[in-house]
Amino acid sequence: MSKKHKHFETAVIHEGYDSKEMLGSLTTPLFQTSTYTFDSAQQGERRFAGEEEGYVYSRIGNPTVTVLEERIAKLENGERGLAFGSGMAAVSAVLIALTKAGDHIVCSSGLYGCTFGLLTMMKDKYNISHDFSTMESKEEIRSLIRPETSLIYVETPINPTMKLIDLQLVAEVAKEYGIPVVVDNTFSTPYLQRPLELGADVVVHSATKYIGGHGDVVAGLVVGKKDFLDSVAMTTQKDIGGVMSPFDAWLLIRGLKTLAIRLDRHCDNAERVFEKLRKHPKVANAYYPGDGRHPDYPIKEKQMKRGGGLISFEIKGTKADAQAMLNKLSFLKLAVSLGDAETLIQHPATMTHAVVPEESRNKMGITDQLIRLSVGLEAWEDIWEDLEQALDQV
Ligand code: LCS
């Protein structure tokens, strides 16, 4: 196996893969197979018993997927990685593994819409309740923890409000109670933020976003301690079965190689577009964690390398004005998802967070005027020109 690489930019290209083991193939081969042959019935028995290493069936493991799992584990500085068929498959595998009927979850006061939907379903079906916390102080988190609280779940930056949570502070409280902290690191990726180094126990990703980076795959990843991920691998991954296809792993291995350079460009573009956007007369508020005026900027300075590629902003006016602006865009893409080469723009209240009831949306800060912008890799001047002409027409 390859040695541990010191620099992130090298690790995204080399970790978890040794070409000498693969007939010298420079790129990771695509093992597009569902199953694996045994030399004898006894070998099959030993493999199923876990007495001999080797692949048995691609829901339980695949060599292409293994390379990706080892690479993401190294990048997040965790012990083991696991790959899933979507970000939600990853989130649900972790949440189901860590809870039983009657348990309780403390979560950040903003979450991706489908994560909110999953928590609502778990409450309705299994009486697993949850409370939202701003996580602004230790006292506030402590006040919500009950004997049956089995985990703390955090998104930071929060989709789509771009508020931040202090991960070290949350991890310190969780340690007092001996409960794990799960962090959705989709918006930052390990290039900008490494929650496990700040005391979190598990990291989840929608790899659909920056990790893939090219808008051509839906996928999820989990990283954490070996014992916990071994148990997830044998339960909520193997038996619920939301695994990643080998081809999707192959695409993600390719995407990851440029993660660092892509993210630097996403950040450069977002910083420049934000400076213009915040001054536009039709924009009431604009939120970017890399901006020194952002209320959570001190948290950004503590735990994020840069501010990321996402901006959200509120239009002066109504929902109709926000929709009118989106309809006036020329080449920027009106679409959900984020982290792609193309700049993507969407209306959270009616799209990604439409499943969140209006009252909860308002509490989270998702107003009808809020627009989320995933700044792409195009020339920033072109991105701004399109946004400006659309805003001018509102
Ligand atoms: N976590 C976060 C923070 C997300 O933004 C998403 C998807 C997921 C988990 C789920 O990942 P998936 O299953 O889609 O791979 N977020 C989306 C968004 O903001 N627009 O479209 C999807």
Closest CA to 371 of 389, 347, 390: 347
Give the count of alpha carbons within 13 A of 381, CB side only: 0
Q: Hey, whose CA ends up nearest to atom 20 of ligand 1? A: 337
| Ligand 1 near 159 CB (within 6 A) | yes
Closest CA to 181 of 196, 159, 161: 196
- Nearest in space to 352 (alpha carbons), one of 364, 342, 341: 364
Residue 328 to residue 336: CA distance in whole angstroms: 17
Cα(86) to centroid of ligand 1, in Å? 9
Distance 145 CA to ligand 1 centre (A): 27
Calculate the alpha carbon distances from 114 to 120, 290, 365 in Å. Answer: 9, 26, 17
Query: Rounded to whole angstroms, how far apart are CA atoms 253 and 241?
Result: 21
Question: Which listed residue (112, 210, 287, 288) is catalytic?
Answer: 112
pLDDT of residue 5: 74
Q: Whose CA is nearest to atom 5 of ligand 1?
A: 112
Options 17, 47, 80, 184, the catalytic residue: 184
C-beta of 184 in contact with ligand 1 (< 6 A): yes
Determine if ligand 1 sits within 6 Å of the CB of residue 88. Answer: yes
| DSSP code per residue over 348-365 | TTTTTTTTS-HHHHHHHT
Q: Is 186 touching ligand 1 by the criterion CB < 6 Å?
A: yes
- Report the C-alpha gap between 284 and 296 in whole angstroms: 19
* Farthest-apart Cα atoms in the chain, separation: 74
| DSSP conformation class of 57 | B
Residue 102 contacts residue 94 (beta carbons within 8 Å) = no
* 112 tagged catalytic: yes
pLDDT of 6 reads 83
Question: Which residue has a Cα nearest atom 2 of ligand 1?
Answer: 112
> For ligand 1, what atom is nearest to the CA of residue 207?
15
Selecting among 46, 59, 225, 282, the annotated active-site residue is: 59
Q: Which pLDDT tens digit goes with each residue over 212-244?
A: 999 999 999 999 999 999 999 999 999 999 999
Task: Please confirm, yes or no, whether 184 is among the known catalytic residues.
Answer: yes
Q: What are the backbone dihedrals phi and psi of residue 108, each rounded to the nearest 5 degrees, phi first?
A: -65, 150
Domains of the chain as residue ranges with CATH: 8-30+61-256 (3.40.640.10), 259-392 (3.90.1150.10)
Residue with CA at minimum distance from ligand 1 atom 7: 206
Ligand 1 pocket, residue 337 CB under 6 Å: yes
Radius of gyration of the CA atoms of the chain, in A: 21
Q: What does the pLDDT profile of the chain (394 residues) look like in tens digits?
A: 345 678 999 999 999 999 999 999 999 999 999 999 999 999 999 999 999 999 999 999 999 999 999 999 999 999 999 999 999 999 999 999 999 999 999 999 999 999 999 999 999 999 999 999 999 999 999 999 999 999 999 999 999 999 999 999 999 999 999 999 999 999 999 999 999 999 999 999 999 999 999 999 999 999 999 999 999 999 999 999 999 999 999 999 999 999 999 999 999 999 999 999 999 999 999 999 999 999 999 999 999 999 999 999 999 999 999 999 999 999 999 999 999 999 999 999 999 999 999 999 999 999 999 999 999 999 999 999 999 999 999 9
Q: Which atom of ligand 1 is nearest to the CA of 88?
A: 13
Q: Name the nearest CA neighbour of 19 among 10, 27, 11.
A: 27
Contact 123, 174 (CB under 8 A): no
209 has catalytic annotation: yes
